[in-house]
Structure 1
Amino acid sequence: MNGRRRALQIAVALASLVPLSVATLSLMRGPGWLGQPLPSTDLDSHFRYLSGVFLALGIGFVTCIPNIERKGARFRLLGAMVVAGGVGRAWSLAQIGAPSTGHVAGLVMELGVVPALTLWQAVVAARCRAPTTTG
């Protein structure tokens, strides 16, 4: 079981690098680093606010890594927040069209990778709770 737990911890650590790095860059540089025209001050403010929320999500996932088998409620809440953002991104894709490649990759993380990690965490937690048999 320790191998599965350790693999999950490594996967979550690697996946957390995305929000930690992208959100930090977005907070510091605003949306201009995406190669788009500079937005209005209100849109820039909103972008940086959401980047702060994104950074907090990444930090939240990092806090789940130690004792990940006991962090189910937190992990599910953070996962639900990411999936909700992915649903919003998917809605935009349906209404406006496909965004840039980076945002499509975000959609894959939000609606694919994070739900898979959330299910994996539940499996690891259940196996850690299950009584072990000794022969």
Structure 2
Amino acid sequence: MIEKRLLQLVVAIACLVPLSVGGTSILHGPHFLGHPPVVPTDLDSHFRYISGIFFGVGLAFVSCIPGIEHKGARFRLLGALVVCGGLARVVSLIAVGPPSAGHVFGFAMELGAVPLLMLWQASFARRYRP
């Protein structure tokens, strides 16, 4: 039971990233990243749209916390979405160069922490089965 609570706690803490960054980005747009006060309307719209998806993924991960041992399929789907986003950052890295420190943190979450949490959840769920 201690491992379940620890896994739930770590997932809850990890959810703070998409909820806080996504929410702030929805409210403030690209200005949140220190961009000029005026950005093209389409860029602002797209940025806020993607931020809304990011926020929604955070909410969906939160829904996995209760009964986390039974939420493997949802957890894997959400994790796969996050990993796809991290792989898209690899394309950006190759095309235009390294991002700022905040995005490097995101990269580490997307291609490091989330896959590790997916493995932990799967391992725990296998061991939890009666």
Same fold (TM over 0.5): yes
Percent identical among aligned pairs is 60
**With structure 2 as the length reference, what TM-score do the two structures score?**
0.97
Between the aligned partners of 1:35 and 1:52, the Cα distance in structure 2 is: 19
The CA deviation string for residues 68-98 of structure 1, in whole angstroms up to 9 with x for no partner, is 0000000000000000000001110111101
How many residues of Structure 1 are paired with residues of Structure 2 in the alignment? 129
The CA deviation string for residues 2-48 of structure 1, in whole angstroms up to 9 with x for no partner, is 11111100000000000000000000000112112232100100000
Aligned partner of 1:88 in structure 2 is: 88
Between the aligned partners of 2:32 and 2:42, the Cα distance in structure 1 is: 17
Aligned partner of 1:122 in structure 2 is: 122
**What is the letter of the counterpart of residue 74 of structure 2?**
R
Between the aligned partners of 2:30 and 2:45, the Cα distance in structure 1 is: 10
**What is the letter of the counterpart of residue 3 of structure 2?**
R
Supply the RMSD in Å over aligned alpha carbons.
Answer: 0.7
Pick the structure with greater CA Rg.
1
Unmatched segments (≥5 aa) in structure 1: none
Aligned partner of 1:33 in structure 2 is: 32
Aligned partner of 1:3 in structure 2 is: 2
Unmatched segments (≥5 aa) in structure 2: none
**With structure 1 as the length reference, what TM-score do the two structures score?**
0.93
Aligned partner of 1:69 in structure 2 is: 69
